[in-house]
A and B are shown apart, each in its own frame.
Chain A
Amino acid sequence: MGRYIVRRLLQFIPTVLGTLFLLHYLTTVGIQLTGNPIRALFGDKRPAPETLAALTSRLHLDDPCLKQKGNPCLGLFRERLVDIGQLDFGTNFRFRPVFDWRGFFDRAHASIITDALPYTIKITIIAFTIEALVGVFIGMRAGMKPGKSLDYSVKISTVMVISVPVFVLGILIQQFITRDFGNFLRGQEWIPEVISRGVFGSAYKQEFPFASLIIPGIVLGMLSLATTARLTRTSVHENMRADYVRTAKAKGLTHKRVIGVHTLRNSLIPVATNLGLSIGGYMTGAIITETIFNVPGVGNQTARAIFQGEPAVLIGITTMLVLVYLVANLLVDLLYAVLDPRIRYE
């Protein structure tokens, strides 16, 4: 097992390097095509040439290769790798550091990622909890009674959620639930503010750090919830007819034990791996959800970095997301081995 983990960790290296290079190349070509991004910082004003030159040089944007369209700027890439190796992810155009681990403990070392990450972690936990509890529960109930009304409603509603893009769903929920319904709630005197302005507020609010993340969390988790419910349903349904379930019945075990122990344990193997993988999916979902609900998390920062063409921020955040994704994948593999002894002993 230990050797397996080490091998997997080593496999991370090319993936991370490849991602870094791709991002580096895309942002470099972007600069080569649109010109010095610093200029955009000044908007309509024209900066003094010395100021511009000084800024450009401080942000390492004065390398001649940035003027040659299509040049991959390998020299710059190597410098960047060396910096990242020393946990230096650079700064944005306003010289705010992208990442400084001390920022988790000390406000004096605040950085973009350490400031944003707690929001994303909170919203991910909300999404994951809802996905795991609700998705598995309704999938299980539907799978146990195929062809009954609950089964059909699960089938239909999950197809709807899966086929509607997340941003459409998010905007619909924002319009009709947090705005229209929220406005109605805010008009009622007797409803506490935590509910009317927190839970049903149309954007994240600092005064309600948890309540105002619930609906964004639900939107983030909705898609994975639907896939989890469907997967659980299919899996339970298949396992109910498995030979070993018939054996369990023949052993005179109670219906509760036949379902709760023998059927469920087997049905949940594919579900657990799906749950693990959905954590990776949340990282992309967060870009949309956090932007819609204005949550100042990592996803929101990513979107901003893209719009403003900030290479360091984009690369820093994406590297982190890739690592989260890879670690989640590794954990899923380990979990699979724990749940399914047939894998463990291969």
Chain B
Amino acid sequence: MSDVSVDMSPSLAGVKMTAPLLEVEELKVEFRTRAGIAKAINGVSFEVNSGETLAILGESGCGKSVTAQAIMGILDTPPGYITGGQIRYRGVDLLKRTDEERRLVRANKIAMIFQDALSALNPVFTVGFQLAELFRKHRGMSRADGKKRAVELLDLVKIPAARQRVSDFPHQFSGGMRQRVMIAMSLALDPELLIADEPTTALDVTVQAQIMSLLAELQRERQMGMILITHDMGVVADVADRINIMYAGRIVEKAPVYDIYAKPSHPYTKALLESIPRVDLKGQQLNVIRGLPPNLTRIPAGCAFNPRCRYVRDACKVDPIPPLYEIKPGISSACHFWKEVRGDD
């Protein structure tokens, strides 16, 4: 570490370091648009602790990014509004704090990596400027010290010739290198929690693996909590500890990674698994989930997945919505017929 590193990370009143890193409880978000009210998040709860990786997985449009934006406090309002629930960082409900307090949580405590680094980095500033900005504005460093730290960060994420590249603009980097810059930026202020929203979706398959292993390595070294958001079941297997499966703004299954793959407890999870291309089944027709995710302004009554479900019964088509049934400690499923889905007796 460099001589200019001083920890001046601002502290948030009421924080208890013994409390869980992040607890999201019954979060509800809606978008008020001309087409109606889109209920994007309908009571999502989960918890992340230091040193662990939680994967949030679901088809595109199910509300993963909105969840991340709500936690960061960067939702577009209007049209997006948080209509209920709590987001607790170390026991402090962030939704009750002032804008200024929330601003200081961002990047200092909770940082985020975006999907498409080309559009997420500002095209008119050098990556050095965009990295140094964090040190200058949050740590009061000079431009020169900020730049020194920027070079260190580029080294940390293994960008070759960091000293030269720090003066380059985002469009001069390859896709993978650009995502490394994004990662460097998120780690600048040593956050406790990292939210990675589809960090590899925009990349080539070979580069995807490198970026995932870099992320996993940095997360382990720094004992950060990480929320890894993806729609790709193949990405999470090696990296995540636990998985939450999301559908139409709800979590429909929670389980440790191994159990999800070995024995899915929700028909949606099962369908997702069947849609992964597998080497051992090469040549066979790939299963895609039939039908489309529901329109969020008109979510069907009962289980939102019922129109597409293989196991559907009459009970699935009427309210109440199936609760998250706890199957074993750490495993739960929002399906009335989880036993049948698992093949348990």
Contact = CB atoms under 8 A, between A and B. Distances in A.
A257 interface: yes
Which of B119, B124, B138, B189 lies at the interface centre, i.e. has the most chain A CB atoms within 10 A of its CB?
B124
A243 B133 contact: no
Contact of B121 (A244, A253, A265, A340): A244
A164 interface: no
Given A241-B76, A252-B104, A262-B122, A247 B114 contact: yes
B108 interface: yes
Nearest to A346: B171
Given A252-B138, A253-B133, A247 B124 contact: no
A266 interface: yes
B122 A244 contact: yes
B112 A341 contact: no
Nearest to B111: A250
Contacts of B69: 246
A247 B121 contact: yes
B14 to A, nearest CB: 19
A248 B120 CA distance: 9
Given A247-B114, A247-B121, A250-B74, A341 B106 contact: no
B328 interface: no
Which of A242, A250, A253, A342 lies at the interface centre, i.e. has the most chain B CB atoms within 10 A of its CB?
A250
B169 A248 contact: no
A254 B125 CA distance: 18
A250 B195 CA distance: 11
Nearest to A263: B122
A141 interface: no
A253 B133 CA distance: 9
Given A243-B114, A246-B114, A342-B169, A254 B124 contact: no
Contacts of B111: 250
Nearest to B131: A251
A246 B106 CA distance: 12
Interface in A235-249: 241-244, 246-249
A254 B134 CA distance: 11
Given A252-B138, A342-B171, A244 B185 contact: no
A8 B322 CA distance: 70
Interface in A50-85: none
Given A243-B116, A341-B171, A345-B172, A250 B124 contact: no
Interface string B48-85: 00000000000000000000010010101000000000
Nearest to B116: A243
B133 A252 contact: no
B185 A251 contact: yes
B310 interface: no
A266 B172 CA distance: 18
Given A243-B116, A251-B185, A345 B169 contact: yes
A342 B171 CA distance: 7
Contacts of B134: 251-252
B106 A249 contact: yes
A209 to B, nearest CB: 41
- B interface bracket (residues with beta carbon within 8 Å of A): 20 to 34
Nearest to B123: A342
Given A243-B116, A251-B106, A252-B104, A266 B185 contact: no
Nearest to A339: B124
B282 interface: no
B107 interface: yes
Nearest to B186: A250
B16 interface: no
Given A250-B72, A251-B133, A341-B124, A244 B119 contact: yes
B122 A250 contact: no
Interface string A109-142: 0000000000000000000000000000000000
A274 B233 CA distance: 48
Interface string B161-175: 000000001011000
Contact of B122 (A241, A248, A269, A339): A248
Contact of B120 (A243, A253, A339): A243
Contacts of B138: 252
A342 B106 CA distance: 29
A266 B125 CA distance: 10
B137 interface: yes
A340 B103 CA distance: 29
B224 interface: no
B107 A252 contact: yes
Contacts of A262: 122
B105 interface: yes
B112 A250 contact: yes
A269 B123 CA distance: 12
Contact of B106 (A242, A244, A250): A250
A250 B107 contact: yes
A250 B193 CA distance: 13
Nearest to B103: A252
A246 B171 contact: no
A246 B104 CA distance: 15
Given A250-B111, A252-B189, 18 more contacts: A246-B74, A246-B114, A246-B120, A247-B121, A251-B133, A251-B134, A252-B104, A252-B138, A262-B122, A265-B125, A266-B122, A266-B124, A339-B124, A340-B123, A340-B124, A341-B124, A341-B169, A345-B171
15 contacts: A242-B119, A244-B119, A246-B69, A246-B114, A247-B120, A250-B111, A250-B112, A251-B134, A252-B107, A253-B133, A266-B124, A340-B124, A342-B169, A345-B169, A345-B172
Interface of B: 69, 72, 74, 76, 103-108, 111-112, 114, 116, 119-125, 133-134, 137-138, 169, 171-172, 185, 189
